Structure 1
């Protein structure tokens, strides 16, 4: 029987750190693929509806290519999600023991309403374009897209509840639900869901833009590639300013409910007004100060309080009288938040700049090859921003696993550190191989599709591209 470890022992701390790294590695790998499928399902629906409305084969060609990427991403995401869920029992039994009455039903809702929906209609979506009526294939695409969104909804509802718990009571040391609406629609949930959906949209927008730019660079000048390249760029150009606005609202919500997280993100040590926006620094938790600080005067107060004289919480307020630190680690949050914001700003500049160039050149044919190469480099930029944002969210909850209810150290299992380390290494090796294989397959599919397009347009072959082939 697995027992909760006494975290006062040094070996326990090793086990805790290794278990956290292992779960972090698992979820970091897993989240990459739902981030693609959540939005890509809706993009595929857009392609299908445009084909239904216009009869233009370019839209269906785009559907045929990108549904393969969807299937690949869905498959890897499902497998990595299963291994991640095992760790609730092997590494973190205290989680379900304490809050299983809330977490269990929410995870079950995700399976019953989302995963089954995706699994039931995915086959029709992938292989039914030439085998079922058009309306049924469109309906299957709708239901798969809805399923991916529902999956994100339930998972983020649980994660948000862990950040800002509501609608519960504790009886005999165990959490019991008292209001399911309050649990699901907890204070941070709407902001977190919308922020993640937009992040998924931006990830897919740059994935489509980057792969389409790659196909252009290797000589594919088909109208379908022009269409997808424009779709990806315009999608990114529209979504990024919305994401900036939602991100600001999410930050204000976090300031209200998790001020210690905001203090760590800003590396602000002392509560007070006129707090600068720190662009770069090296936070020093031991000395409780920043080294090599570069900042904009009053910037943090202006952003967080919309007033240059606004008071921003400081990290020293979250250190108990006995010296116990009650705020998250500063450096990881400080840098991960800036990576997320930096990539977001780069997305804004690239998408708006490319959209302007497309308008100015009356299409993608006149785009500079260096601009196309830049888009290829940005292909997986959404992954970088998503991971940085996810680390900010999850590390920012520490030292709590469920804020105010369950600390991370009280949930870890008594598993020997050597066993955790060995499985961690195995996970990292497998995930590294799978990640390289995934990226390689995406670009090989792009190269193969471009080669087929070239042969079709040259009259060298009559090839029909069908989903699943």
Structure 2
């Protein structure tokens, strides 16, 4: 591998690892706000139980996500120093705003969220939970703004090789940001919803904590049912507003090398060097139908329209989009089936559906990762589309050192990911029963203080003798 390939792999592995956690925690922070608000309003113990259980999973994922996000910033300066020097006047202030707004808000209230339960007032707990969720939303907003500018750069001029802003409104609200930000926000909400629903379904399958599981699953699938149609519309709008600026990405997504195909390529094994597909599975006329032409006459563009030096990697772009698209179809079908079962009052008796929902737990995460692969791989070979090539933005480092760091980061991320999964499984096995505010721990579970417990008095007790009026007055 070349220095460019190694640097791209290192950054891609770091970003993919990092995005796994915001895909859960951003939506889960909003879920916690809703749950605690319902507890504050209704006083029902099940909502407090839900809040305490899901807060544990949120807290660990939030911590790992913050650490992985900091690594991305360091890599932008070390592995991509030329990129940092050229785009610093634009990307630097945007990342700085994320620190000033998102990190400060999260850091100011995360302590109350994690440790304030039972120590502060309910109103303070609710406000702190909401502010943490606001911080996560602000963080994703600035990140999407920076990445969207790289996709569709606007509001800048090039001075001595540097990108300098001329209009910050156009920089931030560039053509693709308007649709990519709500698309990403809906994506993390849906991802967290299926994460919650899947774990809740496990308890229904096991017959444990049914009240907790039903309430969590009902709320999660209800949110998913409301957002999935909106998300499909937003995804179509992203394609309609971003892809006209990046026709090469559209060509790679479709999986065609030559023009004229009106079908939809469902499966493909591309050969980038030979500019052909080794194998493919095509559904006739479906591509034309997706383009809103029912006459089967609208052909999909081929990647050969783009010069070879400007073509993105078709395999990564094609399969990234297919993972996102097929996961979205799966989640839409699941949410639709859940709505039908809810209307028919069979949502809690459909055991096969519960097992199916359990397997859809990572569907939202896979969809988000697939979407990011599509966006980033499809932008290549540009790091700032049409303005700065990726090959011109990499730092001149020794390939051996970069290879060593790629292997080191990969091993470290794998260990952390496995540890997080093990933590979730352990938390599931312990269960939410310990978080029930109405349940007291049995005596055998009390901590051993080193003192022997007093033996129970088994001797019969004498009944109290009724006292007369004089004795009562004396007492």
| TM beyond 0.5 | yes
Quote the offset at 1:125 in angstroms.
1.2
Equivalent residue, structure 2, for 1:190: 178
Quote the offset at 1:455 in angstroms.
12
Moved more, 454-463 or 247-256: 454-463
Q: For residues 455 and 116 of structure 1, do their structure 2 counterparts lie closer, same or farther at Cα, with a shift above 3 Å needed?
A: closer
The one of 169, 179, 186 equivalent to 2:157 is: 169
TM-score by length of structure 1 reads 0.89
The answer as to 2:71 corresponding to 1:83 is yes
Q: For residues 50 and 456 of structure 1, do their structure 2 counterparts lie closer, same or farther at Cα, with a shift above 3 Å needed?
A: closer
Asked whether the equivalents of residues 452 and 463 of structure 1 are also in contact (C-alpha less than 8 Å), the reply is no
The answer as to 2:350 corresponding to 1:367 is yes
* Unmatched tracts of structure 2, length 5 or more: 447-475
Aligned length: 445
Q: CA RMSD in A?
A: 2.3
Quote the offset at 1:446 in angstroms.
2.0
Matches for 1:423-438 after TM superposition, within 5 Å: 423-438=405-420
Q: Secondary structure at the match of 1:86?
A: helix
Equivalent residue, structure 2, for 1:345: 329
User: In structure 2, how many angstroms separate the alpha carbons of the residues matched to 1:72 and 1:152?
Assistant: 19
Q: Which runs of 4+ in 1 moved over 6 A?
A: 453-459, 461-464
User: In structure 2, how many angstroms separate the alpha carbons of the residues matched to 1:441 and 1:110?
Assistant: 29
Asked whether the equivalents of residues 260 and 313 of structure 1 are also in contact (C-alpha less than 8 Å), the reply is no
Asked whether the equivalents of residues 212 and 229 of structure 1 are also in contact (C-alpha less than 8 Å), the reply is yes
* Unmatched tracts of structure 1, length 5 or more: 1-12, 465-469
The one of 4, 28, 51 equivalent to 1:16 is: 4
Q: Secondary structure at the match of 1:20?
A: helix
Asked whether the equivalents of residues 213 and 375 of structure 1 are also in contact (C-alpha less than 8 Å), the reply is yes
User: In structure 1, how many angstroms separate the alpha carbons of the residues matched to 2:288 and 2:330?
Assistant: 24
The answer as to 2:427 corresponding to 1:439 is no
The answer as to 2:320 corresponding to 1:332 is no
Quote the offset at 1:396 in angstroms.
0.5
C-alpha offsets along residues 365-418 of structure 1, whole Å, 9 cap, x if unaligned?
Answer: x131x3322222221222211111110100001000111221111111111111
Asked whether the equivalents of residues 383 and 390 of structure 2 are also in contact (C-alpha less than 8 Å), the reply is yes
Q: Whose radius of gyration is greater, 1 or 2? A: 2
Quote the offset at 1:268 in angstroms.
2.3
User: In structure 2, how many angstroms separate the alpha carbons of the residues matched to 1:463 and 1:105?
Assistant: 53
Equivalent residue, structure 1, for 2:454: none
C-alpha offsets along residues 271-315 of structure 1, whole Å, 9 cap, x if unaligned?
Answer: 45x632112222233333334333233332442465744464331
The answer as to 2:189 corresponding to 1:205 is no
Equivalent residue, structure 1, for 2:226: 238
Equivalent residue, structure 2, for 1:6: none
C-alpha offsets along residues 228-249 of structure 1, whole Å, 9 cap, x if unaligned?
Answer: 0111222222222221111111
TM-score by length of structure 2 reads 0.88
Q: For residues 374 and 362 of structure 1, do their structure 2 counterparts lie closer, same or farther at Cα, with a shift above 3 Å needed?
A: closer
Quote the offset at 1:332 in angstroms.
1.3
